[in-house]
Structure 1
Amino acid sequence: MIPDARTDTEGAPRRRVVDGSHVDVAIIGGGQAGLSLSWHLTRAGTDHVVLERDTIAHDWIDRRWNAFTLVTPNWQCRLPGYPYDGDDPTGFMKRDEVHAWIRRYARSFAAPVVEGVLVTRLREGRAGYEVVTDQGTLTADQVVVATGGYHRPVLPAAAGRVAPHIVQVHSADYRSPEALPEGGVLVVGSGQSGAQIAEDLFLAGKRVHLALGSAPRCARFYRGRDCIDWLDEMGVYDIPVEAQVGGLTKRESTNHYMTGRDGGRDIDLRAFARDGMALYGRMTTVEGTALGFTPTAEASLDHADSVMESIKTNIDEYIERAGIDAPTEARYSPVWRPEREVEALDLDAAGIASIVWAVGFRSDYEWIQVGVFDGAGHPTHRRGVTSAPGLYFLGLPWLHTWGSGRFAAVARDAEHLASRILTHEAPALFEREPVSG
């Protein structure tokens, strides 16, 4: 039995890897992606195991702050055989609710998860694959890597040049405003995490400084509906990555910032600046407490707003084509512009005691000793199917579509891979189609 909460794992019966054992399919990773595939394989009666380094869905607790809320509405929380089971489909689940929901999912079909096992190496064996763990080695005919794409928090080299008395944390380790020392906070990066953490700090009364990047933004609601509702109905989340402008380079794109907090709303950094948040361009230099920035804050804000407005235009055009009776709504008008760009800042003089680095993650596949990676270390695949027979990836952002990072599309990607696994079609697929990175 899989316990409901992490504290309940103590004393509960736990599966372990049996050294020298064999399974038809080994799934590495016990989050929503690995569990979604496990549901299909369980239903098909396929012998398989899910290997989880920590506990089921632990990332939702271990790498997100206390006030974290999903950006996507609850109705999009659909996994195979398991729709959202709450009473607020248009609301947004909080961190702990998501964690509990996924763990209930695992229990709902008795997923064969081995928790607390670290996979240290994956290599080709005489027949199939050898999965080396800290509990022994097992073999599998097919293997699915469902560990996601965000493995190691990125800290720029500049972090090593910050004065030692300044507290520094990565966004993955940020938990709450109260956990930081008294004084102002500099957040570096304005993607989804950076913008939401800056909001969290600002609402708590912290003096917040935010170094902007090039992330776009999206309105929460427009013309009577959540923008995600409109985009889903328009099929935007279902367009394959190969058909996107820029093609496979979309896999490196930054998500739009918005929030599901307090029922969902825009994150308007201009409004925060009007009310006291300090905004800067991209950080360029660090030496002790002296920081330098490019004068790009206004351009970053303009870019984010232009993307938001272009999305609204697409929605307007869809409403017109479909003949939908929807309320009209005025477009956004900037509520603040910088009088001047600040290009230099002294942390001590500004009363800044801590820095939150919200500059992303990098993948780490060094433990996989199979030649399916490009020169940058990214797995090459087409919708999760690699050129190595029987080796697959699942749960990556833009695995197939923009929606691949969302629960409902993870479910579709898992169904697709399950069909490949059950028929073992990988070699034929790559005879027809080139491998894509």
Structure 2
Amino acid sequence: MSAPLDLPSQVEVAVVGGGQAGLAVSWHLQDRGIDHVVLERATVAHDWRDRRWDAFTLVTPNFQCRLPGFAYDGDEPDGFMTRAEVQAWLGRYRASFDPPVLEGVEVLSLRRTEDGFALRTTAGDLAAHQVVVATGGYHVPSVPALAASLSRRIVQVHSADYRSPEALPEGAVLVVGSGQSGAQIAEDLHLAGREVHLALGRAPRSARFYRGRDCIAWLEDMGIYDVTVQQHASGLAKRESTNHYMTGRAGGHDIDLRAFALEGMRLYGRLTAADGSVLAFAPTLTEYLDHADSVMESIKNDIDAHIARAGIDAPTEARYSPVWVPEEEPAALDLDAAGITTVVWATGFRPDYRWVEVGVFDGSGHPTHRAGETDVPGLHFLGLPWLTTWGSGRFAGVARDAAHVAERLAARAPAAVPA
């Protein structure tokens, strides 16, 4: 790796964010010989260390881990990398082409100028002709307002700060939210022998394996991850959707909340109110469990149709039959009476682009763009879910989006000689 860089005063392209998206576009810019710098407020790929729990594994199989010029290089292409393995893999990616990264440099503001953009950073000022905002879309942990009404005795932790069952106070735990993080954290606590209560949201689920293969492998072959947000029936609203829950833990398996209930996990519908230690829930438990199962079965229907169309010789498999059905809809929970000492909020994140002082945002604070390109010439976003397709949230999708953004950057940059 080359010697540490100093912040230049001027650059053709400033890339803000040193995660997989920032590294991927840097690879393309370096390959094209385009002058640029990557500004990272902490360390490269730090989110994989700082915002994942100890037992975290990828949900996507390792074979889908493909970045520009660098594919998964381990011995388990059908396995699932752990948090530490992902961070190490991204470290090897960085070393493979030595991008011009400045770590510990936070961008405080981004403004438009006559010639491009002005960036004020903790290391000084920088002028850039073009900018790529590659900070992802999950910035600030989102916690519902009713959290403020909980008893002070209750320890509250957001999923971004959850590390392990052992790091929490003794006692039962309530997890709020059943997306990927919530479902996996509930399983982590359950496997550790903790008493777990789980308040569900309307998250879908998917089988891990079906008819002899990982479902994600089937879906990739079917081109599902290539469907653009414009082609999707939900349109741009799909960018706000919750991911299907499953896990890569222990080689990968389904997460069946009904099975957890059989084993003692307490399930509830949507959390609606809190008053001290007493919580109220909407009667949505049955609806949410049935919805998650219906999505899983619809995915299997699509896989069946693909197998039939392509004439693939694949083993048949019995469909899922619910192993547990709620006898009643719990309307309330007294945290003190249940011995609950901790609430884990798996309620997602909200964007925070206050430092981007350019008018490219909608009313909810999300950037408006098409395939990452905004209406302001030279300003791009990268690394967002559904930036272009469902695959945009995966390593391979980030790679494709980075290639497109780099092509648009190159079209506005002075002619350069590839490195």
User: Which one-letter code corresponds to 1:216 in the other structure?
Assistant: P
User: Which one-letter code corresponds to 1:168 in the other structure?
Assistant: Q
Contact 1:152 1:362 survives alignment (8 Å): yes
Residues in 2 aligned to 1:126 and 1:139: alpha-carbon distance in whole angstroms: 11
Q: What does residue 297 of structure 2 align with? A: 309
How far is the alpha carbon of 1:158 from its aligned partner?
A: 1.0
Residues in 1 aligned to 2:63 and 2:55: alpha-carbon distance in whole angstroms: 20
Q: 1:16 aligns with which of 6, 13, 19?
A: 6
Matches within 5 A, 1:70-149: 70-149=58-137
Residues in 1 aligned to 2:371 and 2:412: alpha-carbon distance in whole angstroms: 15
Task: State the TM-score, normalized to the length of structure 1.
Answer: 0.93
Residues in 2 aligned to 1:243 and 1:185: alpha-carbon distance in whole angstroms: 41
User: Which one-letter code corresponds to 1:14 in the other structure?
Assistant: P
User: Which one-letter code corresponds to 1:418 in the other structure?
Assistant: A
* Percent identity (aligned): 69
Contact 1:65 1:174 survives alignment (8 Å): yes
Q: Deviations over 1:113-145 (max 9, x none)?
A: 000011010001231110110111100110000
Q: What does residue 272 of structure 2 align with? A: 284
Q: What does residue 383 of structure 1 align with? A: 371
Which structure would you say has the larger RCO, counting Cα contacts within 8 Å and 6 or more residues apart? 2
SS across alignment from 1:259: coil
Number of corresponding residues: 413
Is 1:350 the counterpart of 2:352? The answer is no
Contact 1:14 1:115 survives alignment (8 Å): no
Residues in 2 aligned to 1:373 and 1:211: alpha-carbon distance in whole angstroms: 32
User: Which one-letter code corresponds to 1:44 in the other structure?
Assistant: R
CA RMSD, Structure 1 to Structure 2 (Å):
0.9
Matches within 5 A, 1:266-345: 266-345=254-333
Q: Deviations over 1:99-118 (max 9, x none)?
A: 11111111110110000011
SS across alignment from 2:66: coil
How far is the alpha carbon of 1:378 from its aligned partner?
A: 1.0
SS across alignment from 2:119: strand
Task: State the TM-score, normalized to the length of structure 2.
Answer: 0.97
How far is the alpha carbon of 1:155 from its aligned partner?
A: 1.2
Q: What does residue 215 of structure 1 align with? A: 203
Contact 1:191 1:254 survives alignment (8 Å): yes
Q: Deviations over 1:28-48 (max 9, x none)?
A: 000000000000111111110
Contact 1:210 1:278 survives alignment (8 Å): yes
Is 1:418 the counterpart of 2:406? The answer is yes
Residues in 1 aligned to 2:22 and 2:314: alpha-carbon distance in whole angstroms: 39
Residues in 2 aligned to 1:239 and 1:339: alpha-carbon distance in whole angstroms: 40
How far is the alpha carbon of 1:156 from its aligned partner?
A: 1.1
Gaps (5+ residues) in structure 2?
414-419
User: Which one-letter code corresponds to 2:174 in the other structure?
Assistant: L
Q: Deviations over 1:53-81 (max 9, x none)?
A: 00000000100100000000000000000
Residues in 1 aligned to 2:5 and 2:45: alpha-carbon distance in whole angstroms: 17
SS across alignment from 1:368: coil
Residues in 2 aligned to 1:54 and 1:73: alpha-carbon distance in whole angstroms: 27
Residues in 1 aligned to 2:255 and 2:132: alpha-carbon distance in whole angstroms: 37
Residues in 2 aligned to 1:369 and 1:253: alpha-carbon distance in whole angstroms: 27
Residues in 1 aligned to 2:122 and 2:407: alpha-carbon distance in whole angstroms: 31
Question: Which shows bigger deviation, 146-155 or 367-376?
Answer: 367-376
Is 1:185 the counterpart of 2:147? The answer is no
SS across alignment from 1:389: coil
Residues in 2 aligned to 1:277 and 1:155: alpha-carbon distance in whole angstroms: 23
User: Which one-letter code corresponds to 1:49 in the other structure?
Assistant: V
Contact 1:15 1:115 survives alignment (8 Å): no
Residues in 2 aligned to 1:160 and 1:17: alpha-carbon distance in whole angstroms: 42
User: Which one-letter code corresponds to 1:367 in the other structure?
Assistant: W
How far is the alpha carbon of 1:424 from its aligned partner?
A: 2.2
